[in-house]
């Protein structure tokens, strides 16, 4: 009996490896895992769980990412090996192919609606904050849309960088500020100088003379149109009075 008790005491003194408890929690779905991935944007720290990607950030260090995650997400986090194929999915997502799933728990239904709508903006195109507000059924909530996008926990992959002000100003960006937003849009092929020149002139829409359709200036319908075949409009009423109808893809106006 004494020998058994001695063995039990020795077992109780054995300590689990560092991080063992967190790894068990991650496997059980209670904690999130994370790793750093090389991307066209540079190294990006990405957190995930069984529901999908839960956070992303271009952090200076793993510690900075962990501290931000604890503060903003509020769940345990453990560094881990990335699942097979995740790096390829991340690369595809940045190229405009929607291959990632996302965990948006903790966000309000309004913020989730904003981010799901933002996912629908194609790579290389932009939309104004007001478009998001109208599309989710809250046309007056433009400021609230901006707040939801500023607090997007998964920038880059949920492309809040593709949402700008209607006056052409880039606006703020939770993924690294206006300059980072500008760099990513340039990388995606957005003609920012043209876009901002039109916006400064008060021109919000471009129409194609041959189709009599008007679009947002970055819509793919205008990619192969020569500049002389465009006509520009200040607002929806001006476009409609000229005999143009809204594009069904970029939806510059309500149906």
Other CB atoms closer than 10 Å to residue 174's CB: what's the count? 17
CA distances from 10 to 7, 16, 150, 224 (A): 5, 13, 53, 75
User: Counting beta carbons within 10 angstroms of the beta carbon of residue 35, is it exposed (0 to 12), middle (13 to 18) or buried (19 or more)?
Assistant: middle
> What does the alpha-carbon distance between residue 17 and residue 79 come to, in Å, rounded to a whole number?
14
The answer to whether residue 247 is catalytic is: no
Cα 57 from chain centre: 11
52 and 101 Cβ atoms separated by less than 8 Å: yes
* Residue from 160, 215, 219, 250 carrying the catalytic annotation: 160
> What does the alpha-carbon distance between residue 74 and residue 68 come to, in Å, rounded to a whole number?
9
Give the residue among 160, 150, 162, 229 at the shortest CA–CA distance from 195. Answer: 162
Give the residue among 115, 195, 196 at the shortest CA–CA distance from 160. Answer: 115
Residue 29 DSSP SS3: coil
Which residues 6+ apart lie within 8 Å of 94 measured at CB?
Answer: 39, 40, 41, 156, 157
CA distances from 98 to 31, 44, 91, 94, 232 (A): 25, 18, 10, 9, 32
**Annotated catalytic sites, by residue?**
160
């Amino acid at each position: 009996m004494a020998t058994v008790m001695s063995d039990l005491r020795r077992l109780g003194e054995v300590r689990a490896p560092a991080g063992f408890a967190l790894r068990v929690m991650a496997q059980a779905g209670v904690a999130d895992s994370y790793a750093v991935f090389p991307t066209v944007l540079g190294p990006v720290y990405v957190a995930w769980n069984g529901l999908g990607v839960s956070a992303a950030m271009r952090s200076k260090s793993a510690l900075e990412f962990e501290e931000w995650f604890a503060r903003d997400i509020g769940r345990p986090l453990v560094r881990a090996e990335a699942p097979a194929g995740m790096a390829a999915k991340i690369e595809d997502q940045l190229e405009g192919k929607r291959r990632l799933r996302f965990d948006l728990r903790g966000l309000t239904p309004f913020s989730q609606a904003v981010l799901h709508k933002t996912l629908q903006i194609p790579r290389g195109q932009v939309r104004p904050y007001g478009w998001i507000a109208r599309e989710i059924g809250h046309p007056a909530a433009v400021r609230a849309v901006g707040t939801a996008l500023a607090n997007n926990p998964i920038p880059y992959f949920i492309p809040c960088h593709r949402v700008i002000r209607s006056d052409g100003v880039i606006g703020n960006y939770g993924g690294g500020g206006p300059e980072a937003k500008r760099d990513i849009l340039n990388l995606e092929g957005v003609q920012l100088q043209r876009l901002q020149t039109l916006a400064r002139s008060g021109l919000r829409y471009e129409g194609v003379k041959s189709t009599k359709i008007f679009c947002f200036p970055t819509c793919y319908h205008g990619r192969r149109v020569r500049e002389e075949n465009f006509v520009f409009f200040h607002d929806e009423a001006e476009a409609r009075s000229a005999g143009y109808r809204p594009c069904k893809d970029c939806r510059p106006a309500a149906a």
